[in-house]
Amino acid sequence: MHLSCRDAMPQTSSAPNSPQQNGPTQQGRLDLIEVLYRRYGAASADSLSMRWKYWRKKYLWKLVVGSATLTKRLLDIVVAVVMLILLFPLFLGVAIAIKLTDRGPILFWQSRVGQWGHEFPFPKFRSMVTNAEALKDKLLAMNDHQNGVTFKMKKDPRITWIGRIIRKASIDELPQLWCVLNGQMSLVGPRPPVPREVALYTLRDRRRLDVKPGLTCIWQVSGRGDIPFPQQVELDVQYIESQSLWLDIVLLLKTAPAILIGKGAY
């Protein structure tokens, strides 16, 4: 039987100075508790069942997400180890060529921003002159990405002759396999930005930092440097909202042809 709020409240006197004016009397409280018990006590079994369904769905979802994360991590480790072993002769040849070019360091280390804003050391085969960072401020006016967030220059004078070769084939990015192996990066994910760029991010742009950065991503296989920054963000958010193991495999398979074509690589 349905009880209204009026039915649930015990009827008491409304005379002046009555205790009811300041709330129900002690007996009124007891009567109200009894009414509430009769109304909801019988539903305790249903409430327990509902709670069980809630917890079951919650932990099943955690199991599914956890399994996908574990599978992605295992794929990262296996592929990174295999590639580091197979590409060692290439690494050695590139290292020798860089060293003979100007006697400078083989690797260029830079601080990049990863998942949830954590910075980490980011290695690349050095493709520019040793004072490239100092020269960058003088070249900002020639930025091909006029939005001012990312810096891309098609004919960057800082790039060495060996640098142009390894950048065209994305060989300069291969040392980042080490970052994949140690868990700072993944094979697939938004490319990690430098802190200088993140400082200019809008709230929507920061969505890129919700997942681990990757060696390759959607816009990397769709035009690389030719993709303007706003569209890069849009594609990265699209990946984050629809990521799956199958999508990662598809993007990895598309990466090799994109490198061979070389569109947007500069």
Q: What is the pLDDT of residues 129-163, one digit of tens each?
A: 988 878 877 777 667 666 657 777 778 889 999 99
pLDDT of residue 94: 97
pLDDT at 3 over 70: no
257/170 Cα distance (integer angstroms)? 12
Pick from 108-122, 206-220, 245-259: least confident: 245-259
What separation in angstroms does the CA of 195 have from each of 54, 121, 137, 158? 41, 12, 15, 21
pLDDT over 50 at 12, yes or no: no
Angle between helices 245-261 and 44-86 (to 10 degrees): 30
Mean pLDDT calculated for residue range 14-38: 59
Between 85 and 39, the more confident residue is: 85
Dihedral, CA atoms, 173, 66, 81, 188, nearest 10 degrees? -20
Per the model's pLDDT, the better-predicted residue between 261 and 242 turns out to be 242
| Closest by Cα among 94, 98, 111 to 171 | 94
Question: pLDDT grade, residue 41 (50/70/90)?
Answer: low
Contact 128, 158 (CB under 8 A): yes
How far is residue 146's CA from residue 152's CA, in Å, rounded to a whole number? Answer: 9
- Give me the chain's average pLDDT, please: 82
Exposure class string for 6-39: b at 16+ Cβ within 10 A, else e = eeeebeeeeeeeeebeeeeeeebeebeeeeeeee
Which residues are 119's β-sheet partners? 113
Question: What per-residue confidence (pLDDT) applies to 14?
Answer: 43
What are the phi and psi torsion angles at 200 (to 5°)? -100, 0
Rg of the chain on CA atoms, in Å: 30
SS3 state at 222: coil
Does residue 259 surpass a pLDDT of 50?
yes
Q: Which of 73-82, 141-150, 221-230 has the highest mean pLDDT?
A: 73-82
What pLDDT does residue 157 have? 87
pLDDT, mean of residues 167-187: 95
Query: Average pLDDT for residues 107-113, to the nearest whole number?
Result: 96
**Of the given ranges (6-15, 29-38, 51-60), which has the lowest mean pLDDT?**
6-15
